[in-house]
Amino acid sequence: MTMPDRSFPTDFVWGAATAAYQVEGAVHEDGRSESIWDRFAHTPGTTFHGDTGDVACDHYHRYREDVALLAELGLGAYRFSVAWPRVIPGGTGPVNEAGLDFYDRLVDELLAKGIAPFVTLYHWDLPQVLEDAGGWPLRATVDAFAEYAAVVAGRLGDRVRHFVTFNEPRVVATLGYEDGIFAPGRHDLDDGLAAAHHLLVAHGRAVQAIRAVAPDASVGIVLDIVPKQSASTEMLDLESAAAAQERHDRWFLDPLTGRGYPPDPPENSWRHLIRDGDLELITAPIDFLGVNYYTRDIVRSPMLPPLPAVEREKTGFGWEVYPEGLGEVLRFVASRTGDLPLYITENGAAYPDHPSDPTHDPERVRYLRRHLAALADARSTGIPVRGYFVWSLLDNFEWIFGYSQRFGIVHVDFATQERRVRDSGRFLEAVARSGRLPAEPSTAGD
Ligand code: GCO
């Protein structure tokens, strides 16, 4: 059976994404201060192999080459993040013009090549000085973020048309403050819940701050939404799956869309932090929502014995390949956002390199093809997705997994910093240039 070609409109945005700490390197240059990820990655035992973002892809110095790659691949947009510790090294107070200049140069380079910058203000690299003062569980961090947002939008907002306040606040709150797996490595449920609330309030304050200085820019936020599916029809599994969805996905999407927070147990101590006006701030209109989608979670109640393992297709990272989930996530999101424009702000896969040729990546091509098919099908049902960003432009520092997981459509040799476009890059280029996802004979599992 042959599937039909799927097409995308000519104004559909095709892009690639990165994040500051994962690609920039140059951590001591031009007045940048320490971030929580510098501190965390330099703490023994936190990352694979002790890897850090000290050098990463050296994007700070090689950004022209990287922008040229985006242009070569026919991509019309680049989603990158700004490192707060470069811009306001003290967390609040004096602006470091030299740090801000880097983003100025990057934006100009992009625009000169006809590539739209999508600027994320926070992709996890809080200035360490603010963590030392209390971090996201502390209300003062909200004020600091609003100040920082105004500075960045004030400098770039004459040219940047899309700002993202936060990338994946759920990961920041849960992995960073509640589970202690990511920076800053705190392990306290109430800290996680307090951080989550402050991240959302900070988002609302940043929306205001950006609109005040860059009234023509669109502003949004990026959420990671993972479909939570019950491992069985047993009541305990169904309840566990619903609870996971409340704590992870609805916890952010519901207040942002005016539904307030889902209920949680009264022994959780954080609701006293909600001040008058907070929920209105969080719900203030945005111009788009970004959705990061990689895989699903199959939820088994901890009260039930494990089920026998089921053979499922996985990426090299061990994440299940589940393209249908992209449509499921978009339907779930659209049930709350209606006709608000959506972007897939991250989607991609890590696979080990083929030893003979690391640019030959048929698994990643197949992953992208199947997810783009799911995206086209979701669009054809009327879900207003306006663009797609692959994660990632480059192999980069994959957080606690260091350089062991490669997500790039461009291969990076970290010894020489040589970049080489992978087959997946050429594949995305062909789709972006033609606006068509070519038909392919279906194979088992498609
Ligand atoms: C995320 C982050 C990225 C990751 C990517 C792969 O979604 O977790 O935004 O920084 O590198 O998702 O894990």
Ligand 1: which residue has its CA nearest to atom 11?
398
Quick check: 92 and 143 in contact, CB under 8 A?
Answer: yes
What pLDDT is recorded for position 441? 56
Q: How far is the CA of 79 from the centre of ligand 1 (A)?
A: 13
- Domains along the chain with CATH numbers: 13-303+318-434 (3.20.20.80)
**pTM exceeds 0.85 for this model:** yes
- Give residues (CB < 6 A) around ligand 1: 19, 22, 167-168, 171, 224, 292, 346, 391, 398, 407
Distance CA 386, CA 401 (A): 31
Q: How far is the CA of 266 from the centre of ligand 1 (A)?
A: 32
Quick check: 119 and 80 in contact, CB under 8 A?
Answer: yes
Structure tokens that stand for 265 in this block: 């147990």
Residues 168, 178, 363, 398: which is the catalytic one? 168
Ligand 1: which residue has its CA nearest to atom 10?
19
Q: Mutation test of ligand 1: which of 22, 292, 367 has the most ligand atoms closer than 8 Å to its C-beta?
A: 292
Q: How far is the CA of 204 from the centre of ligand 1 (A)?
A: 23
Q: How far is the CA of 78 from the centre of ligand 1 (A)?
A: 15
What pLDDT is recorded for position 222? 99
> pLDDT-derived band of residue 444, with 50, 70 and 90 as boundaries?
very low
Give the atom of ligand 1 at the shortest distance from the alpha carbon of 407.
6
Averaged pLDDT for residues 6-28: 98
What pLDDT is recorded for position 445? 44
Q: Encode pLDDT of 339-378 as tens digits.
A: 999 999 999 999 999 999 999 999 999 999 999 999 999 9
What pLDDT is recorded for position 442? 57
Averaged pLDDT for residues 146-171: 98
Q: Encode pLDDT of 239-282 as tens digits.
A: 999 999 999 999 999 999 999 999 999 999 999 999 999 999 99
* Average pLDDT of the chain, as a whole number: 97
Q: How far is the CA of 303 from the centre of ligand 1 (A)?
A: 30
Q: How far is the CA of 346 from the centre of ligand 1 (A)?
A: 8
Q: Mutation test of ligand 1: which of 223, 291, 399 has the most ligand atoms closer than 8 Å to its C-beta?
A: 399
Q: Encode pLDDT of 99-108 as tens digits.
A: 999 999 999 9
> pLDDT-derived band of residue 446, with 50, 70 and 90 as boundaries?
very low
Residues 24, 131, 346, 363: which is the catalytic one? 346
Averaged pLDDT for residues 21-25: 99
Give the atom of ligand 1 at the shortest distance from the alpha carbon of 396.
11
> pLDDT-derived band of residue 46, with 50, 70 and 90 as boundaries?
very high
Q: Encode pLDDT of 79-102 as tens digits.
A: 999 999 999 999 999 999 999 999
> pLDDT-derived band of residue 438, with 50, 70 and 90 as boundaries?
confident
What pLDDT is recorded for position 3? 63
For β-strands 418-421 and 410-413, DSSP reports them as: antiparallel
Strand partners, 253: none
What pLDDT is recorded for position 1? 53
The alpha carbon dihedral of 55, 56, 60, 61 has a sign of: positive
What pLDDT is recorded for position 5? 78
Distance CA 53, CA 434 (A): 36
DSSP-based three-state secondary structure for 257 = coil
Q: How far is CA 414 from CA 48, 69, 142, 396, in A?
A: 15, 17, 36, 9
φ, ψ of residue 391 to 5 degrees: the values are -105, 110
The neighbour count for residue 78, using CB atoms within 10 Å, is 27
What pLDDT is recorded for position 439? 78
Identify whether 168 is a catalytic site residue. Answer: yes
DSSP-based three-state secondary structure for 215 = coil
Ligand 1: which residue has its CA nearest to atom 13?
398
